[in-house]
Structure 1
Amino acid sequence: MINGENLVPTSIPWGMVGGGRQSQIGYIHRSAALRDGVFKLVAGAFDIDAQRGRDFGTAIGVDADRCYAEYKTMFATEAQRPDGIRAVSIATPNGTHFAISKAALEARLHVVCEKPLCFTTAEAEELRALAASKNKIVGVTYGYAGHQMIKQAREMIAAGELGDIRIVQMQFAHGFHNEAVEAANPATQWRVDPKMAGPSYVLGDIGTHPLYLSEVMLPALKIRRLMCSRQSFVKSRAPLEDNAFTIMEYDTGAVGYVWSCAVNAGSMHGQKIRVIGSKASIEWWDERPNQITYEVQGKPLQVLERGMGYLHPTALADDRIGGGHPEGLFEAWSNLYVRYAQAMLASDRGDAAALAAIHYPGIEAGIEGVRWVENCVRSADAGATWVDYT
């Protein structure tokens, strides 16, 4: 990766739904997808306001006649072009994800979608079946999984360096919504509106991020049952929560904890994952993403650094510059978009072995995130009771 060689034989013609001038997340999608030349942005339905979307699209270099008023027209029109889009990224409010993803798959497009993929497990499984029938991939943007040290943690755990896994402690607990900021911020308003956000706020919006990191690090660990308590400290957000605690029991006897919070006053992100074994523990914090702390019982704490030769080869494969230089979230997303492109091309040529070897947050990750939120809400709404994980 460091030498910047092309990682795919040709750039994939790519479009966006959403991600316009007022989007909080659109720019990182474009930066990540375009950085390594694996995608080429040629079309978009960037905004619910057609003129505003066209103005924005032309400002970032998209031809005016390929800046569409809405996604259905884009999919139909691009399908008639010999140079039409082959993939689309969806960066719109949660309540639109299912319909747009379904329409894109029906148009035989590969999909990269913001999470949550949809509102219900049944919808997510419908998308899985549709993607399989069309031979298309679905990527879900759990962007933090692109940090190289997540791979290092996965390899250390698989090698038994921590011993038997006992506890997985997770949190994503920021403080930026400690007051009703949505009253003056349209980009935040939909996140606390059940019609657009779905059955949860922080559980789905941020809690699923460390949950997915745990799935990457500990792929064999399966939830057996969970208990969730959720609160709306800013009362106008009810019935959606701005704080939640989830306790999980795994089928191995290990336990896990997830603190999902938007009212942790003074905290920036506060996203951490700590995996505790019978021999040692590791911890990763997204505000210091280039390091993992490795703590062996009875020995001094070690800090493992990104880019160093003592790391596992898979943790070095995505390096973009030598050790000691900080890499950040844009690089992590770029790593994921490279994998999305490689998976799309492998799928298109029917190379099942190559596709199986590419690790990226895909349709199964999307389904699991939706399933986890559903179970958390079910537990919380029943009075924070234990529920079997279904």
Structure 2
Amino acid sequence: MLIGEKKIERPFRWGIVGGGKTSQVGYKHRLGAMRDNTSFVLTAAAFDIDFERGREFGKNLCMDETRLYPDYQTMFAEEAKRPDGIEAVDIATPNFLHYEACKAALEAGLHVICEKPLFFEVEQGLEIQKLAEEKGKIVCVDYGFSGFDLLSQMRHMILNGAIGEVTMVDLRYAHGFGCDPTGDTQAEGQMWRVNPAKVGRSFVLGDLSTHTFYMSEMICPQLKLKQVLCDRQSFIKTRAPLEDNAYVLMRYENGAVGRMWASCVNAGDMSSQHIRIVGTKASLEWNDMHPDELRYEVQGQPVQTLIRGMDYLCGDALEYERLGALHYTGLIESWSNLYNRFAVAMDAKNRGDEETLKNLVYPDLAHGIDGIRWINKCVESADKGAVWVDFE
């Protein structure tokens, strides 16, 4: 059970780019990183393109005003002059800023945590991968849902044959909060998401489905995606060419098949992510509206519901368990678990501990590159008329 004790010698001095007062995700980043003050301490920030608004926001967080900066370039340069400068940075900006900010952070000698999707092109990801290797730094990706304990239980059960050979992967991240188009022009945290110049080639495929796609990779690491077929729609016409709904079919190298539904116009649905993995003997199903429950359905037997925090779960599912059974967890616990792993990865990299890095399960740069490839291959398939395209 995780009770906040340190996993590394001392917390990393941590800065953030973006994530200011108008951000939809900034608070999640800060809570996730600082829930365990043994992992990260917020030290500096460039919160906002509006410096005065960002500075006022930082003051309201009781931060040192001298370490609130107008932009990330200034922050990296000034922090590098300090003996107590930041050691890691979080990039919580719109998508089009990720690549340059990530590159600048690595060149400044910082570990990086970056919002998803990482960049627009796979080639950018490979360039950053090379730079990170040269600098000896870690690049992590904020797939914030992937820290839920029972996802580790699913991974353990699948790898240990509890459902037999995986045959079907059924994924969904579909909510209804994009049904009202007024937010596209009035909500600052939404406007950039429907602007191709700032978000890239997709809306919900990048904003939503990359989360669930990574979670499927985490749960089923033995599966390798072979081909995808995507059909996407813009039901709010002003969003075209960006989609607000998409269906994706998948073929895996071992013969398994899958499907993904990503949507922000699934009217009335508050239950966003569903993951069902079907095997030759049994199935596992998890829903993020009930993250403490995992359905285990063995053919011909009564359905079993596995509960977070119980002793019958595997060690990986209990390592980051925080509250004990009967006390419900939520998204912030998932983010906190993820940031704890990010800190462990950074510490291991600093110490040259490749064994820890090899065995640590977290969304790293390679998974971020897979996310870029996922978006672009889905868009390629859809734009060609919903045809099968090779994933690699």
For Structure 1 versus Structure 2, the TM-score category normalised by the shorter chain is over 0.9
**1:173 and 1:271 in contact (8 A); partners too:** yes
1:175 matched residue in structure 2 = 176
- Partner SS for 1:257: strand
Amino acid at match of 1:280: A
1:80 matched residue in structure 2 = 81
- Which segments of 5 or more consecutive residues in structure 2 lack a partner in the other structure? none
Specify whether residues 99 and 302 from structure 1 end up closer, same or farther in structure 2 by C-alpha distance, changes over 3 A only: same
Amino acid at match of 1:164: E
- Partner SS for 1:244: strand
**Post-superposition offset of 1:61:** 1.9
Q: How does 1:237-248 map to 2 (within 5 A)?
A: 237-248=239-250
1:354 matched residue in structure 2 = 356
Among 323, 335, 338, the alignment partner of 2:337 is 335
Amino acid at match of 1:261: S
Q: How does 1:253-264 map to 2 (within 5 A)?
A: 253-264=255-266
> What CA distance in whole angstroms lies between the structure 2 residues aligned with 1:371 and 1:93?
19
**2:22 and 2:188 in contact (8 A); partners too:** no
Amino acid at match of 1:166: T
> What CA distance in whole angstroms lies between the structure 1 residues aligned with 2:35 and 2:20?
18
Among 207, 210, 215, the alignment partner of 2:209 is 207
1:301 matched residue in structure 2 = 303
Alpha-carbon displacement from aligned partner over 1:237-259 (angstroms, at most 9, x marks no partner): 00000000000100000001000
Amino acid at match of 2:142: T
**2:105 and 2:112 in contact (8 A); partners too:** yes
> What CA distance in whole angstroms lies between the structure 1 residues aligned with 2:4 and 2:16?
25
Q: How does 1:34-73 map to 2 (within 5 A)?
A: 34-37=34-37, 38-73=39-74
**1:13 and 1:84 in contact (8 A); partners too:** yes
Alpha-carbon displacement from aligned partner over 1:319-340 (angstroms, at most 9, x marks no partner): 1111121011101110111111
> What CA distance in whole angstroms lies between the structure 1 residues aligned with 2:148 and 2:299?
26
Alpha-carbon displacement from aligned partner over 1:33-78 (angstroms, at most 9, x marks no partner): 1111111111000000111111111211221111000000100110
> What CA distance in whole angstroms lies between the structure 1 residues aligned with 2:32 and 2:3?
17
Among 362, 380, 383, the alignment partner of 2:382 is 380
**Post-superposition offset of 1:148:** 0.2
**2:126 and 2:369 in contact (8 A); partners too:** yes
1:230 matched residue in structure 2 = 232
> What CA distance in whole angstroms lies between the structure 1 residues aligned with 2:26 and 2:185?
22
- Partner SS for 1:98: helix
1:4 matched residue in structure 2 = 4
2:319 matched residue in structure 1 = 317
- Partner SS for 2:316: helix
2:21 matched residue in structure 1 = 21
Amino acid at match of 2:209: G
**2:227 and 2:388 in contact (8 A); partners too:** yes
- Partner SS for 1:216: helix
> What CA distance in whole angstroms lies between the structure 2 residues aligned with 1:222 and 1:137?
24
Pairs aligned (count): 390
Amino acid at match of 1:132: E
- Partner SS for 1:172: strand
**1:232 and 1:243 in contact (8 A); partners too:** yes
- Partner SS for 2:103: helix
Amino acid at match of 1:162: I
> What CA distance in whole angstroms lies between the structure 2 residues aligned with 1:269 and 1:175?
9
Amino acid at match of 2:272: G
- Partner SS for 1:30: helix
> What CA distance in whole angstroms lies between the structure 2 residues aligned with 1:196 and 1:3?
40
**Post-superposition offset of 1:7:** 2.0
> What CA distance in whole angstroms lies between the structure 1 residues aligned with 2:293 and 2:84?
43
Amino acid at match of 2:12: I
The question of 1:292 aligning with 2:294 is answered yes
**1:142 and 1:361 in contact (8 A); partners too:** yes
Alpha-carbon displacement from aligned partner over 1:76-129 (angstroms, at most 9, x marks no partner): 110111000000001110111111011101111000000010011011111111
Alpha-carbon displacement from aligned partner over 1:293-320 (angstroms, at most 9, x marks no partner): 0101111111100000111111011111
Amino acid at match of 1:109: L
1:345 matched residue in structure 2 = 347
1:103 matched residue in structure 2 = 104
Higher mean C-alpha deviation, range 266-275 or range 64-73: 266-275
> What CA distance in whole angstroms lies between the structure 1 residues aligned with 2:12 and 2:186?
39
**1:201 and 1:242 in contact (8 A); partners too:** yes
**1:7 and 1:36 in contact (8 A); partners too:** no
**Post-superposition offset of 1:184:** 2.1
2:122 matched residue in structure 1 = 121
> What CA distance in whole angstroms lies between the structure 1 residues aligned with 2:291 and 2:168?
21
